[in-house]
């Protein structure tokens, strides 16, 4: 379903900039099926009968121009599961981060319709203070040709070398999606350079959990859809006391008398 390997030059690029884009990742024969599955998910049609952990947009309840998000669709749809639980993703992110293995901590299905609103600049790792070590890497897979016109992902180059900040206060549809980024840059005397992701359908972008990123308004007449796998080291564990970030949602999968991340809820993708 997906094919990729990380070479030494790509690893250097990732370490330098905090992200890496590759034009060919998902086999194109799966793209239309994945788009159809996403449409079904947002209608509440769950193949497995299991509702995802987060579901922020529902038809006839929420504005049509809101960027739509579902978290942990892998529990609800078997094709999404096949994609985000691929050992190829696990091996790629492990090489990028220098890990001995990787597991899925959460997936996202994102659908930004025409005129879809922005998502705030943030650091992914800021939301995972309920695990240790508090680190992660994200695999962002595009199902549509994506560029600045249709609200693509944007990165602050080299920001993975900055400190970890607090989670963004206004994640969905902020009035100024770069405000918190600019505040951080000004308060910490950082130099800001932004790079948009320009990849075709089936392409991928990997980014470090500390890399600041967000996305603007979809100014085109085209949908922009992506499937995202957030990964952590294979030996990551629940923080023994902290319940912050997205902890209130996902700590319900913590087993009694154990801090281990159970494979049934946080699938092991790959291990040396």
Tens of pLDDT, residues 177-232: 999 999 999 999 999 999 999 999 999 999 999 999 999 999 999 999 999 999 99
Domain-located, residue 270:
no
**What gap in Å lies between CA 269 and CA 207, rounded to an integer?**
17
| 130 token code pair | 């309920």
Average pLDDT on 121-132 reads 95
Domain-located, residue 182:
yes
Average pLDDT on 69-78 reads 98
Average pLDDT on 160-169 reads 90
Average pLDDT, the chain: 96
Domain-located, residue 117:
yes
Domain-located, residue 261:
no
- 80 and 26 in contact (C-beta within 8 Å)? no
Domain-located, residue 268:
no
Domain-located, residue 260:
no
Based on the structure, what is the number of domains in the chain?
1
Neighbours of 42 (CB within 10 A): 17
Percent pLDDT > 70 in the chain is 100
Domain-located, residue 178:
yes
Domain-located, residue 17:
yes
| pLDDT at 51 > cutoff 80 | yes
What's the CATH number where 233 sits?
2.60.120.620
> SS3 string of 67-102?
CEEEECHHHCCHHHHHHHCCHHHHHHHHHHHCCCEE
| pLDDT at 170 > cutoff 80 | no
Predicted local confidence at residue 168, as pLDDT? 79
Predicted local confidence at residue 59, as pLDDT? 87
- 171 and 120 in contact (C-beta within 8 Å)? yes
Q: Which residues contact 49 (CB under 8 A, 6 or more apart)?
A: none
Q: Which domain holds residue 131?
A: 8-252
Average pLDDT on 130-142 reads 97
């Amino acid at each position: 379903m997906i094919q990729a390997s990380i070479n030494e030059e790509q690893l250097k690029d990732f370490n330098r900039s905090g992200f890496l884009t590759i034009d060919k990742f998902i086999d194109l024969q799966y793209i239309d099926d994945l788009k159809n599955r996403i449409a079904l998910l947002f209608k509440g049609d769950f193949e497995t009968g299991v509702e995802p952990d987060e579901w922020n947009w529902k038809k006839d309840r929420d504005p049509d121009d809101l960027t739509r998000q579902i978290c942990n669709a892998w529990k609800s749809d078997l094709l999404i599961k096949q994609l985000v639980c691929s050992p190829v993703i696990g091996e790629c992110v492990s090489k990028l981060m220098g890990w001995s293995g990787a597991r899925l901590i959460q997936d996202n299905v994102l659908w930004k319709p025409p005129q879809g609103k922005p998502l705030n600049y943030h650091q992914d790792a800021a939301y995972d203070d309920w695990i240790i070590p508090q680190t992660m890497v994200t695999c962002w897979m595009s199902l549509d040709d994506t560029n600045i016109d249709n609200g693509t992902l944007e990165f602050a180059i080299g920001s993975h070398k900055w400190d970890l900040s607090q989670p963004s206060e206004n994640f969905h549809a902020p009035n100024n999606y770069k405000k918190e980024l600019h505040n951080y840059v000004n308060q910490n005397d950082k130099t800001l350079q932004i790079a948009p992701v320009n990849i075709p359908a089936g392409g991928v972008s990997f980014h470090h959990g500390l890399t600041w990123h967000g996305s603007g308004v979809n100014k085109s007449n085209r949908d922009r859809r992506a499937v995202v796998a957030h990964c952590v080291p294979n030996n990551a564990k629940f923080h023994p006391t902290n319940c912050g970030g997205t902890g209130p949602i996902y700590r319900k999968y913590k087993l009694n008398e154990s801090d281990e991340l159970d494979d049934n809820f946080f699938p092991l993708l790959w291990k040396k």
